Amino acid sequence: MRFPDGTDALDDVSLSVDSGEFVTIVGPSGCGKSTLLKIASGLLKASSGTVDVDPAGIGYVFQDATLLPWRTVWRNVELLTELHGISKAERERRVREAVDLVGLTGFEGHYPKALSGGMKMRASLARTLTMKPPVFLFDEPFGAVDEITRERLNEETLKLFEQERFAGLFITHSISEAVFLSTRVLVMSSRPGRIVESVDVPFEYPRHPDIRFDSTFGEISAHISHALRGAHA
Amino acid sequence: MTTDILNASTSRSNESAKRSLRMFLPPVLTGALILGIWYLISYVLLDPKRRFLLRPPHEVFNVGFANVDNFSEMMVGLWETTKTAFWGLLIAIVLGFVLAVIMSQAKFIERAIFPYAVVLQAIPILAIVPLIGFWFGYGFMPRVFICVIISLFPIIVNTLFGLLSADSGMHDLMTLHQASRITRLRKLMFPAALPAIFAGLRISAGLSVIGAIVGDFYFGQGATGIGQLLKRYAARLQGEQLLASVIVSSFLGVLVFGCFGWLAQRVVGKWASDNRAGD
């Protein structure tokens, strides 16, 4: 991937994610993680190489909640089903299910400006869930919320993954988030973006929040941290 | 305990009385001050022989507002001016909105149109009024045309700015889900533009009233609006009526401004994060 100014954003990156697999890419800011995700989703064209994903089956979770401020939570969650011309009754059913699943029951009539950052992210997740996508792309979705909310959102994302068994590709710069969620963690270096390390995470699903305090968890985190440092040097 | 609660609630009702006092007292004081200065000029500073230059407030009221003939003459004029301003604004809204939507669709269209919108805006209204009369006569439509010219620019600029302000993440989402141009416009860009559109409307509404008065003033013929009345009163040294019509025309501007503010509050007040568009 090369930008028009000649900067190579990504160089020889290749990866595949199967359903039931949760792959996380960690890397420093500006290493091209988001670019990779944009290419995978079809929002950007790669200057060379191929992408083999059905664009209709992609659920994209943005860095910000990207909600429409003039729509209530319910109407925001309904947006995608509306764009795809799904019948009113079916829309109603899917929105109900998604809103309940992310724990926003009771907040359907609220406008985004009345919600906390975490609740906005939940609404955004619910919107993606209504389309039941087989592929989930997460673009650093919880970077803007506080640590406590982030841990809870991680646990809920994990629950969603355990339930839906989609193919997940997650971008973050938080190592513990990466290890906690993923079956596999990829470490990326910057300029040009390159995958320098692939680490398998052996924990079985469903995962308990306390695996964060497990010694294996610590070892894997340390390993990734070293790989990142090496990539940066 | 009970007394405490009682005290708390009385002090709260005192509090709200105080707050409304703080709201309304300052403008009332300013108003009183202005009237005071007005009287001072009329009675103390002006020589009795020159008092016709600024008649005192109560005489302006008696002659301009309390005299039925004078008042109805002014109201008929005001109605003419309002009609002109209304049609001018309506056409400017439709035209400005359409132009802004077209400009929002491609950068090169924006570049092609925008400089001419600026040129239109830069024409001094006093320069164009005689020309319009010369070309199109002094009837109703040429007056409306002046209003359109003077009020079009803020609508174009604000609508365009609003349409282009839609969140880029939301645009990506629309792209991912293959939304058509129309859907994108209807579900994303147009609602996103509403606060800016209302901000533009408030400016344009005031400008359209000015356009209607200026056009009428300079045409000096055709149906009599506030502009012609102003000219006539000034020529005949009818100071009371002159001041009364100035007050009435500014009242029209304030009314229009207030109406659009109210409308904006109703439409976008619930969700807009900054209430600037609606306050």
Model confidence at B20, pLDDT cuts 50, 70, 90, reads confident
**pLDDT above 70 for B137:** yes
How close is the nearest chain B Cα to the Cα of A89, in Å?
A: 21
The answer to whether A42 contacts B188, with C-beta atoms less than 8 Å apart, is: no
Distance CA A212, CA B54 (A): 83
Query: Can you tell me the mean pLDDT for B133-142?
Result: 91
Taking 3-state DSSP, the helix, strand and coil percentages for chain A, each rounded to the nearest 5, stand at 45, 15, 40
Q: Residue B277 has what DSSP assignment?
A: G
pLDDT tens-digit map of B166-194: 999 999 999 999 999 999 999 999 999 99
**pLDDT above 90 for A87:** yes
CA nearest to A161, candidates A217, A205, A106: A205
Distance CA B266, CA B263 (A): 5
Query: How much is the pLDDT for B10?
Result: 54
The answer to whether B270 contacts A111, with C-beta atoms less than 8 Å apart, is: yes
More confident residue, B6 or A95: A95
The answer to whether B271 contacts A111, with C-beta atoms less than 8 Å apart, is: yes
The answer to whether A62 contacts B268, with C-beta atoms less than 8 Å apart, is: no
Q: Which positions ≥6 away from A114 have C-beta within 8 Å?
A: none
Query: How much is the pLDDT for A43?
Result: 86
The answer to whether B177 contacts A84, with C-beta atoms less than 8 Å apart, is: yes
How many beta carbons lie within 10 A of that of residue B54, not counting itself? 18
Torsion sign across C-alpha atoms A98, A104, A105, A110: negative
Query: Can you tell me the mean pLDDT for B149-155?
Result: 94
CA nearest to B204, candidates B97, B75, B76, B79: B97
CA nearest to A131, candidates A80, A55, A76, A165: A80
DSSP H or E segment with residue A135 = strand A135-139
Distance CA A34, CA A1 (A): 12
pLDDT tens-digit map of B217-234: 998 888 889 999 999 999
The answer to whether B273 contacts A84, with C-beta atoms less than 8 Å apart, is: no
The answer to whether B177 contacts A80, with C-beta atoms less than 8 Å apart, is: yes
Query: Can you tell me the mean pLDDT for B210-214?
Result: 93
More confident residue, A29 or A100: A100
Q: Residue A214 has what DSSP assignment?
A: S
Q: Residue A69 has what DSSP assignment?
A: T
Find chain A residues with C-beta within 8 A of B182's C-beta: none
Find chain A residues with C-beta within 8 A of B174's C-beta: 83
The first and second tokens of residue B238, run together, are: 């009818």
- Measured CA to CA in angstroms, residue A52 lies from A58, A124, A188, A229 at distances of 12, 25, 21, 31
Query: Can you tell me the mean pLDDT for A108-133?
Result: 92
A 76-115 residues with CB < 8 A to B: 79-80, 82-84, 111-113
Find chain A residues with C-beta within 8 A of B193's C-beta: none
Query: How much is the pLDDT for B102?
Result: 95
The answer to whether B173 contacts A62, with C-beta atoms less than 8 Å apart, is: yes
CA nearest to B279, candidates B224, B198, B190: B198
Model confidence at B165, pLDDT cuts 50, 70, 90, reads very high
Query: Can you tell me the mean pLDDT for A79-93?
Result: 94
**Nearest CB to B191; choose among A60, A70, A82:** A70
Residue A65: closest C-alpha in chain B: B169
Q: Is B72 left (phi over 0), alpha (psi -120 to 50) or beta?
A: alpha
Q: Do B195 and B272 contact (CB within 8 A), yes or no? A: yes
Distance CA A94, CA A126 (A): 9
DSSP H or E segment with residue B215 = helix B190-219
DSSP output for B58-81: HHHIIIIIISHHHHHHHHHHHHHH
Find chain A residues with C-beta within 8 A of B178's C-beta: 83
Query: Can you tell me the mean pLDDT for B132-160?
Result: 93
Q: Do B158 and B105 contact (CB within 8 A), yes or no? A: no
- Write the ipTM: 0.85
Find chain B residues with C-beta within 8 A of A66's C-beta: 167, 169-170, 173
Torsion sign across C-alpha atoms B225, B230, B235, B237: positive
pLDDT tens-digit map of B251-268: 898 898 889 989 999 989
The first and second tokens of residue A2, run together, are: 């090369």
How close is the nearest chain B Cα to the Cα of A71, in Å?
A: 8
The average confidence (pLDDT) of chain B is 88
* Cis upstream peptide for A55 (omega within 30°): no
Distance CA B151, CA A232 (A): 57
Distance CA B268, CA B196 (A): 10
Query: Can you tell me the mean pLDDT for A40-52?
Result: 80
Single-letter amino acid, residue B202: R
Q: Do B227 and B213 contact (CB within 8 A), yes or no? A: yes
The answer to whether B271 contacts A58, with C-beta atoms less than 8 Å apart, is: no
Q: Residue A198 has what DSSP assignment?
A: E
Distance CA A150, CA B18 (A): 45
Query: How much is the pLDDT for B9?
Result: 54
**Nearest CB to A43; choose among B172, B178, B183:** B172
Query: How much is the pLDDT for B5?
Result: 52
Q: Do B92 and B154 contact (CB within 8 A), yes or no? A: no
**Nearest CB to B273; choose among A41, A64, A69:** A69
The average confidence (pLDDT) of chain A is 87
CA nearest to B10, candidates A106, B2, A25: B2
DSSP H or E segment with residue A168 = strand A167-172
Model confidence at A79, pLDDT cuts 50, 70, 90, reads very high
Where helices occur in A53-116 by DSSP H, the ranges are 73-83, 88-101
CA nearest to A128, candidates A118, A114, A141, A115: A141
**pLDDT above 80 for A9:** no
Q: Which residues are paired to A138 by β-bridges?
A: A61, A170
Query: How much is the pLDDT for B13?
Result: 66
Query: How much is the pLDDT for A18?
Result: 81
Single-letter amino acid, residue B154: P
The answer to whether A70 contacts B177, with C-beta atoms less than 8 Å apart, is: no
Q: Do A202 and A159 contact (CB within 8 A), yes or no? A: no
Tell how far CA A47 is from the center of its chain: 24
More confident residue, B180 or A55: B180
Query: How much is the pLDDT for B279?
Result: 36
